[in-house]
Structure 1
Amino acid sequence: LKEHKESHGIKTIIVGLNEIYGGKYFASQGRDDAEKIKYFIKDAIEEWGIKYVMLVGDAEIMPVRYATTGIEDVPEVPSDLYFADIYYSNGSFSSWDLDGDKKYGERKEDKPDLYPDVYIGRLPASNENEVKLLVNKIINYETPPMKALMVGVELFWDTDNREGEYLKEEIGNELNIEVIKLYETDGYAKDGNATPEEIAEYINKGVMLVNFASHGNPGGMGWESGHFYTSDLSLLHNSYLPVVFAMACSTNEFDTTDCLGEEFLLCQNGGAIAYAGSSRVAFVYLGKSIKSGLSGYLDKAFFKAYYDGSITTGEIFAMAKIDYLTRIPFRNDHDVLTLTEYNIMGDPSITLPVMPLTTKAHVSQEVSNTTIKIWAETTEDNVSIDLYYRKKSIFGGRWYLYGSKDEEPYEWEFLPDEDGYYEFYTVMKKGNYTENSPDVADAYCLFDFSSPTINITKPNGGGIYIFNKEVFSLPVNFAVVIGKIDIMADGNARYVEFYVDDELKYTDYDMPYEWQWNEFAIGRHEIKVVAYNALGAKAEEKVNVWAVIL
């Protein structure tokens, strides 16, 4: 697998769990195995620059982190998002356990960030033979015909809309590829009925995407006139392996049983290359509101992410969640449940072809204080492309047209008048067709034109501090500290580091910058605070102290 990936330009490092726990590559830290893996991923991002993480092993082999939901009927869910969400937006570590009670992902108490920082997937293998089967599927994967199979059924009998079919209509209408519709009822035009035989028939013919909207359980999905259970996988003999997204309860409940999601990947006569689905109850809104939030929105966002330019399974899945977080900023427990309970099985670096009639912006740098280059990628000829930008604010910000190009190269140079976080996207026009704008920006760049500054405000040279309180001062160039003390500083910085005798003690990402010095210390010491801007430029200040901290 390593040779295969690197032959396709993806540098690959294979790391065993014992190597993580034993600190072979980075110092092992964390209170349990799952946290040790998360810290390892953090170190790998910072030292190796990784973008993709493939967890190899079913729940009994590869540790699972359970997220606490705050919902009585669904108290906790297995969530691989824990391993992907490494940082808060300010760059600090997102532990999912701010209050330290070992109940992870609590919406109010832990304030999990939920934005994925790497593209993650899990190979649900329980033994060596299953690993070989899944690896062989990855190595031998061939791009299927660019077709999407939509399977929609009636979810609730007491509403005016057939939610599953309506949602598939909404998704299918936004895809620039052939869409095959298998529905339970005759409310919409369709290509066939939602039966296991017809579902298998189209998968066997070859489709790239399969999308279900149904009721479900770990063993499969069922509706009044049909079903698709794990036993129905025996109908498959497809050589082209699709990516599956199932908007249904519990079909990806990989931690308790061999669920439909796992069996789709482990199917020996075909099956799927990737499966995204819920590990517990998948809540939805009724009627046409199904697309407005919860599982229905995430389902729609998955396919919109592909339309918007994400082309690997891991990136598509991650961008769907980022879309949800961006468009639904005021989230309740059911929103957080939706984001944490949906997991994706499979290699996150599997690449799909670019969707026709779409384009995507790229930037030469993501952090800069000088002019950057922005360019658009497309597979189309004879098109015009518009570039849009905005300076992002707490409320999003207004988009502006930056420029248009009617021929290649579709390139622009960009330098704003003021620093800040800028986002970009492109829109293609061809004849009477205009590409839809993306739900999430294509690219971004953080411009930082300022130099960092730092000033230690406590302790001051000459100050006498007893248990954190300055009692008087002397005309000397060092401070006297008796008992623990809050080291405080202000300035202009992206983040600051606190050192004692050149040993890093703490990193703070938010003003006011402070750290409590409460370690054992007697005698002379040097306190140093170093400030950094986004580009890594730094400023520092030091203060000498004579301390007695017991």
Structure 2
Amino acid sequence: MIKNIYKIFLMTLVVYCLSAEIYEYNYSFKDAVFTQKTGYMLVEIPGCMQIGVEGEPLLPNYPVKILLPPGETLENAEIIINKSKKYPLMLPLLPKQADRPLSWGISEGGFIKNEKVYILDQYMTKNINVSVQWFRGAGIVTGTIDPLTYFPKTGNVELAESMTLKITTRNKVSTPKISHSHQRILQKMLQNPEVLSQYPINSTVDLERMLIITSPAFKSAFNRLKDHYLKYGIVTQVIDSMDVELSDIAGRDWQEKARNIIRELYLSEGLDYVLIGGDNIPYRGLSCNVLSGGDFVSSDNIPADLYYAALDGTWDANLNNIFGEYNDTTGFDEADLFPELAVGRMPVSTLEELNNMISKSIRYQAEPVIGDLNKQTFFGEFLYKDPWSLASDYLELLIGVHDDNGYTTQGLPGYIRTYKWYDSSDTNSVWSFTTVKQELAKGTSFVHHDGHANFSYMMKFYTNQINDSDFTTVNGIDHTTPLFFSHGCNCGGFDYSRCIASRLMSGPFIAVGGIFNSRYGWFNEGQTEGPSIHLHREFENAIYGLGFYQFGWALTVSKIATAPWVTAMGQWEQNALRWNFYTINILGDPAMHIFT
């Protein structure tokens, strides 16, 4: 049953500048739909995502993306409720269920509900959770606000129809210049893009720049890619691992020295892309802990090239050699959630494999197979029985415009021909590895996969089943070498010897590049929201909604768009979205132009 409570109004954002250091932003929540679901209620508001702690009530949260004026940083933020109204609920609010890795079974506890919370007079939560993140020197207040208060004992909710976000700033010495291309990124992301006019333009940046870091044995092989990109206005510099090792630049280990070199070039020359070439180039492992249905998942070693892309801070503020930590209680957070660069990795161990990847990238861009560019293929698996979870329900959100789950994304437009292979139950498998081979042989520009995977298994086949002879027409000439995006666990674990994604990338045929998880990929049981699909939707929106066609920038923009939710209530305590934010990497050339 759906009950419309309010006459529909557009949510508006009005800015009042009270002084040089205090700013107020008004939010109006005049729409609400009360929906009954499985014996519980949801309060849904346009633009708000349902957020909650596992087993506790789901509440609508609205994202904040406010640009601070140049030379200022965040001192304090508070919410003022101007007008509110109480409404009775027919049923209790739906409790948040577990986020689960795709390779796990369902949580042993089944349906999760913290009964102690549901007898409280008032469910106490923070109505604001924001911090300042930095993108190329510009401070952005990001996070979420919650317009709903829940009174479980009486079964009422109170909706703040009008709220004011009051931001107090203090002076910061530097006043950055932002290039036109990076202003374009912010223009499409911010709730107050008019503040961009206060930032000076960096008019000296007229070319894009890429840094390639590789092994001494591979260094000269990248000259082909360097020459290719120079034709398109991308200036490329190649250094090897010994250049990093012998550099005078500061750093506790190789990874920190490499990041400091990247940061220095970014600050002095305006770097845009970093390409890591070779299996032997070290990665930085990041730390994350996830509570999932009573299970605790923890790692201090999630392979994450985000470390080389997000350049503010050190990722180890407390100097304990554990990177990307956070504290649920204090708000301590070492992560930089607004990456400045687009980073990719070519996971190769031999010169032959490297030449394969370089050749495929150049051919894909210089000699596209026109007949394949408007075709994309979807492979969805049956995920779990209880609650019933089908990959098709998630993957369908990548097609067309969707405002499901509180955020809007533009997916594949109507002119893209889609080929769908969806399992509908655990006993009705409609596709296999043979199907995958046949579909690739017909030609497709992009493969989207949601299903179970591991280091040597993905899309219902194992690494040792991949034979180049089965894919000779997927060569970039007869048919294009497609891009891949998989939600599967561990399949992009490039730190393991020959993970399955690396095998797809490094051969002479099959894939030109892909986005994969180096560790677990996560989804929400029985829903159509979850960490993996959220980032995937924002990736498609970056391409088709915002017009970012470089492979690496599409992923970077998707992470910037997702950043406010990473520290939201529920995500902050469960952290599955943070885990996916860390673990998702590009295997391939980040500067490659995606044809659509």
The TM-score range, normalised by the shorter chain, is: 0.5 to 0.7
TM-score normalised over the length of structure 1: 0.58
- Within the candidate set 185, 188, 197, 2:434 is matched to 197
What is the aligned-residue RMSD (CA, Å)? 2.1
Q: How many percent identity over aligned positions?
A: 25
Q: Which residue of 1 aligns with 2:37?
A: none
> Could you list the per-position Cα deviations for residues 399-419 of structure 1 after superposition, in whole angstroms to 9, with x for gaps in the alignment?
xxxxxxxxxxxxxxxxxxxxx
Q: Which residue of 1 aligns with 2:398?
A: 171
Structure with more relative contact order (C-alpha pairs < 8 Å, separation 6 or more): 2
Q: Which residue of 2 aligns with 1:182?
A: 421
Q: Which residue of 2 aligns with 1:283?
A: 522
Superposition pairs of residues 116-265 of structure 1, within 5 angstroms: 116-141=339-364, 142-143=367-368, 144-162=372-390, 164-173=391-400, 174-176=411-413, 177-185=416-424, 193-221=430-458, 227-234=460-467, 235-237=470-472, 238-239=474-475, 240-265=480-505
Native 8 Å contact 1:146 1:178 kept in 2:
yes
CA distance in 1, matches of 2:441, 2:590: 23
Native 8 Å contact 1:252 1:259 kept in 2:
yes
> Could you list the per-position Cα deviations for residues 277-311 of structure 1 after superposition, in whole angstroms to 9, with x for gaps in the alignment?
111121210122x42x3122122222222212110
Native 8 Å contact 1:212 1:245 kept in 2:
yes
TM-score normalised over the length of structure 2: 0.53
> Could you list the per-position Cα deviations for residues 162-217 of structure 1 after superposition, in whole angstroms to 9, with x for gaps in the alignment?
2x111111212431111110112289xx9x93221122222222211111000110
Q: Which residue of 1 aligns with 2:54?
A: none
Q: Which residue of 2 aligns with 1:45?
A: 266
1:3 aligns with 2:227: yes
> Could you list the per-position Cα deviations for residues 210-266 of structure 1 after superposition, in whole angstroms to 9, with x for gaps in the alignment?
1100011011226xxxx1332443232302111111001111011122111101101
Q: Which residue of 2 aligns with 1:63?
A: 282
CA distance in 1, matches of 2:255, 2:566: 29
Native 8 Å contact 2:487 2:516 kept in 1:
yes
Native 8 Å contact 2:566 2:578 kept in 1:
no
Q: AA paired with 1:158?
A: D
Q: Which residue of 1 aligns with 2:320?
A: 101
CA distance in 2, matches of 1:169, 1:232: 29
1:81 aligns with 2:300: no
- Within the candidate set 535, 552, 555, 1:317 is matched to 555
> Could you list the per-position Cα deviations for residues 346-398 of structure 1 after superposition, in whole angstroms to 9, with x for gaps in the alignment?
00011023x4xxxxxxxxxxxxxxxxxxxxxxxxxxxxxxxxxxxxxxxxxxx
> Structure 1 residues 161, 334: closer, same or farther in 2, change over 3 A?
closer
Native 8 Å contact 1:153 1:183 kept in 2:
yes
CA distance in 2, matches of 1:21, 1:99: 24
Native 8 Å contact 1:251 1:279 kept in 2:
yes
1:267 aligns with 2:507: yes
Q: Which residue of 2 aligns with 1:111?
A: 334
Q: Which residue of 1 aligns with 2:580?
A: 338
Native 8 Å contact 2:383 2:451 kept in 1:
yes
CA distance in 1, matches of 2:278, 2:536: 26
Q: AA paired with 2:316?
A: D
Native 8 Å contact 1:67 1:79 kept in 2:
yes
CA distance in 1, matches of 2:356, 2:507: 9
Q: Which residue of 2 aligns with 1:496?
A: none
- Within the candidate set 259, 279, 300, 2:537 is matched to 300
How many pairs are equivalent?
332
CA distance in 1, matches of 2:482, 2:418: 14
Going by fraction, where is helix more abundant, 1 or 2? 2
Superposition pairs of residues 365-380 of structure 1, within 5 angstroms: none
Runs of 4 or more consecutive aligned structure 1 residues displaced over 6 Å after TM superposition? none
Decide which structure has the larger Cα Rg and report it. Answer: 1
Native 8 Å contact 2:272 2:342 kept in 1:
yes
